[in-house]
Structure 1
Amino acid sequence: MKPLSRRTFLRGASGVALALPFLDAMRPTRARADTAAASPRRVMFVFQANGDETARRFAADGETSFELGEFLSPLDPYREDLIFLNNLHKRFYDLPEDARADNHQQGGSSLAPWKSGTGSFPIGGTESTIGYVEGPSADHAIGGLVMEADERVAHRHLVFRVGTKWNDIWNTHAHAGPVGQQNPIPPETDPYAAYARIFAFTPDDEAAQREVLRRLAKRQSALDLVREEGNSLLTRLGAEDRAKVQQHLESIRDVERALQTGNGAATCVQTPLGEKLNPYDDKNHVIMGELFFKISALAFACDLTRVVNFNWSGNTSNRVYSNLGLSEGHHDISHNSDASAFADIRKIHKHLWQQNTKLYDILKNTSDGDGTLWDHTLVVHWNELGQGDTHSIHDTMVVLAGKAHDHFRRGRLLDFKGKRSFADMLVSCFHYMGFEDMTSFGEDVLNMQGALPLT
């Protein structure tokens, strides 16, 4: 039997089309007999802001016998699938003085380790101004290489941010380049609109997107528009593929339910679409983050993209975490060095790490080829700073999560003591994604020795 196209969609009325997960029926006949057929590799960059408290990251520091500190403790159940990269150096001070911003600004562009160009943004603590970095971010570059290798992938990358709608040098983390040009990429900040755009078949099909949004506002499912074709497809699939499709459609329905109902305790606002949660209200950041996580997993499962750049906020985020009993903004707190401020910083980061584990569980519960998305995804957690009150950059931490095709040796704490760079870590991400000819990424002075020793 002829295999299904890897880009098979369920199409319905009003132009709405929903992508399918990877199915055994999509493999060539010979490949179906090969149970070890590889699933695509994916990478998801996850950002949280304002540094942490470096001395309290770990209670013990053995490579495999390490103990997590208070604010990292939510990760303990997942430690066998994590690698903690401690004390990576960002090396910005090796750039010419007129080609670097302050550590918040330059640090927020860490995925794009290039010099800054000219511009009108004030540099903190000086009377000088600066512009965006002059080169692409890793998510954009990796996504481009993926699309060159497989033209069936629809989106180079997806870029999401929870919270603020506006964009500037303090909260834009994705860049298109090319090298030598400033080209910041505005993220999607509204999960309602992102869902309609990504899953309404084509990015430029505005009529289909409007129909999806209209149905969400009316508490209806876009799945109803493709149900007849979906039922027809199910009769042509084997039992295992039927189960995958049904699980996938239920996952999409779950996202729709969340978009439609939100959380009864959260603030709702009136919009042209009817009542929905306000994506820009600090009180709703947990719900918006989880929605973006679910949308990311669906996009991965449909192979619509293999790269996601997700941000809990911009750098210098001053979100007020009232859900934690705080009344002062995050960035303001991070500038203080007293014990109570550090206690609040630990509280904020513990909260965000708890939210990040929801992503892990979503990936673990999403079937993908011969396993789950957790088996076939690398999640890269990063921050623009090491510690907020000192604006340090020599002691930044990255956490790698996910089984990632067993590409890395996991369950370890590696302390690089400032002798390897954040750019070196990005080279390791290129290698995981299959682009092992990449020996450096970004300005030469921001690179040190190439890919990190992680395998």
Structure 2
Amino acid sequence: MSLHTSRLSRRTVLRGLGVSLALPWMESTAPKVVAGSATTPNRMAFIFVPNGVHLPDWTPQLEGYGYDLPSILSPLAPVQDDVLVISGLTHDKGRANGDGPGDHARSASVFLTGAQPRKEGDLRSGISVDQVAAQAAGHATRFPSIELGIEPGRSAGNCDSGYSCAYSSNIAWSSESTPVSKEINPRLVFQRLFGDGTPVKHDQNALRREALRQSILDYVAEDAKRLQSKLGRNDQRKLDEYLDGVRDVEKRMERKDDGFDVSEDVDYPIPEGTPKDYGEHLRLMCDMMVLAFQTDRTRIATFMFADAGSNRSYRHIGVGEGHHNLSHHGGDSGKHDKLRKINQFHVAQLSYLLQKLKSTPDGEHGSLLDHTSVCYGSAISDGDRHNNENLPILLAGGSQIDLGRHVRVAPETPMCNLFLSMLDRFGTPVDFVGDSTGRISELQI
């Protein structure tokens, strides 16, 4: 680490045994302000949930400001003023359009692409909005984008009525034929963010650290101590808080037996370093996203809370049946109640992420949430009907957006119109994404 200048580089890192610990924003690392220039980068994140939602308990009754949060959205109360509820968006290419059944596979494939997937033959989808941004601006960070998930999925074979499993398991596509696989193990994400050197060296050094049962912070302690002596009081406090946060994530990944729901049914092997408790797994991945944004390792992220058509159970909230099975509710009020619990649980994890972003300072003014647009939702509205109009979509954080409202766009407005608007605000405008037809004027301040 080089500390010989009075103003530290934004790329200053703490180094140790196979560790490259990037720093968060601090006054000492802030670039000198040039009149009219932006000093804080924009970020964007996209979160996918499967099987639609129970719309009657999702959709606010009133439009505009001051609406009451429906039961499913109630966990958003601490950040309601930072969230825009958008009703009326459509993913037409999630419909069969002559291609027969396979709604779940299409819902994941189309979520960020707006492109009709090919059922037979070679993979064909479209470039997803996150990768449009990554290809334009990803060179500014160590990782152009990160892709996170919970369930491993498969890249081969048929998973839904003739559609390749690649469609059900991925929402990020770097080309029409290339899905970008997601990482489901928090430990591997952590090592990727903070590892130094080649992948082989990452693994070797990680094994050495684990054998010695030491934190990565132990290996950068000397660098950190030298850095502290060169920081002002505010930056010393920020660095301490950041290092404490990193250590907290480490400790939670080290727990082998605590907090696991041993009765939970999953139909895949859980990798070592992955919590068996679904909620803790989700929250750890949210923490990884926050760390990645905080240290400017990347500015673009996607996160699948579960794969398309997921049938995992939710015993930890009193729902023993599989999610997909329950989504075929047939109007049964008992199934509606259980779907409401599942949907509310997912929104609670989103709220956790948004509150973490909001509590993390970023730049001279504001928080990470102020500079991060988070799009959350599903490409299926009602799991029983498998319909793709009036999608359940939330947009949180970011700048130049009038938040704290419920807005309703015109019927059949393409979801990709929202993506065009998000790309404009991210700083990577394009003429079209998928089946877009224009921007969404309702976002404007």
Q: CA deviation at 1:137?
A: 1.0
Q: RMSD in angstroms over aligned alpha carbons?
A: 2.5
**Correspondence 1:389 to 2:384:** yes
1:334, 1:276 → 2: CA distance? 28
Q: Is contact 1:219–1:260 with CA below 8 Å preserved after alignment?
A: no
Question: Which residue of structure 1 aligns with residue 104 of structure 2?
Answer: 104
Q: Is contact 2:79–2:355 with CA below 8 Å preserved after alignment?
A: no
Question: Which residue of structure 1 aligns with residue 265 of structure 2?
Answer: none
Question: Which residue of structure 1 aligns with residue 53 of structure 2?
Answer: 52
Q: Is contact 1:73–1:350 with CA below 8 Å preserved after alignment?
A: yes
Q: Following superposition of structure 1 onto structure 2, how do residues 157-236 of structure 1 map, counting pairs within 5 Å? A: 157-167=145-155, 168=165, 169-177=167-175, 181-202=176-197, 204-212=198-206, 214-216=208-210, 219-236=213-230
Q: Is contact 2:94–2:103 with CA below 8 Å preserved after alignment?
A: no
Question: Which residue of structure 2 aligns with residue 285 of structure 1?
Answer: 278
1:235–1:195 CA distance, 2 compared to 1 (3 A): same
1:59–1:451 CA distance, 2 compared to 1 (3 A): closer
Q: CA deviation at 1:157?
A: 0.7
**Correspondence 1:409 to 2:438:** no
Deviation string 1:136-160 (CA, Å, 9 cap, x unpaired) is 111111122112xxx3411111001
Structure 2 unaligned residues grouped into runs of 5+ = 156-164, 263-269
Equivalent residue for 1:3, pick from 3, 7, 11: 7
Q: Is contact 1:262–1:277 with CA below 8 Å preserved after alignment?
A: no
Structure 1 unaligned residues grouped into runs of 5+ = 121-130, 269-274
Q: Is contact 2:420–2:438 with CA below 8 Å preserved after alignment?
A: no
1:104, 1:222 → 2: CA distance? 41
Q: CA deviation at 1:97?
A: 3.2
TM-score, normalised relative to structure 1: 0.85
Q: Is contact 1:103–1:384 with CA below 8 Å preserved after alignment?
A: no
Question: Which residue of structure 2 aligns with residue 88 of structure 1?
Answer: 89
Deviation string 1:380-423 (CA, Å, 9 cap, x unpaired) is 10112011000010110210112x13x10011111124241111
1:195–1:94 CA distance, 2 compared to 1 (3 A): closer
**Correspondence 1:253 to 2:247:** yes
Q: Following superposition of structure 1 onto structure 2, how do residues 270-309 of structure 1 map, counting pairs within 5 Å? A: 279=274, 281=276, 284-309=277-302
TM-score, normalised relative to structure 2: 0.87
The one-letter code of the counterpart of 2:180 is I
1:320–1:24 CA distance, 2 compared to 1 (3 A): same
1:195, 1:389 → 2: CA distance? 38
1:346 is paired with a residue whose SS is helix
Q: Is contact 1:54–1:395 with CA below 8 Å preserved after alignment?
A: no
The one-letter code of the counterpart of 1:38 is T
1:183, 1:190 → 2: CA distance? 22
1:416 is paired with a residue whose SS is strand
Determine what percentage of the aligned residue pairs are the same residue: 27
The one-letter code of the counterpart of 2:403 is R
Question: Which residue of structure 2 aligns with residue 454 of structure 1?
Answer: 443
Q: CA deviation at 1:107?
A: 1.5
1:421–1:101 CA distance, 2 compared to 1 (3 A): farther
**Correspondence 1:440 to 2:432:** yes
Deviation string 1:17-48 (CA, Å, 9 cap, x unpaired) is 211112222234455xx899531111111111
Q: CA deviation at 1:118?
A: 5.1
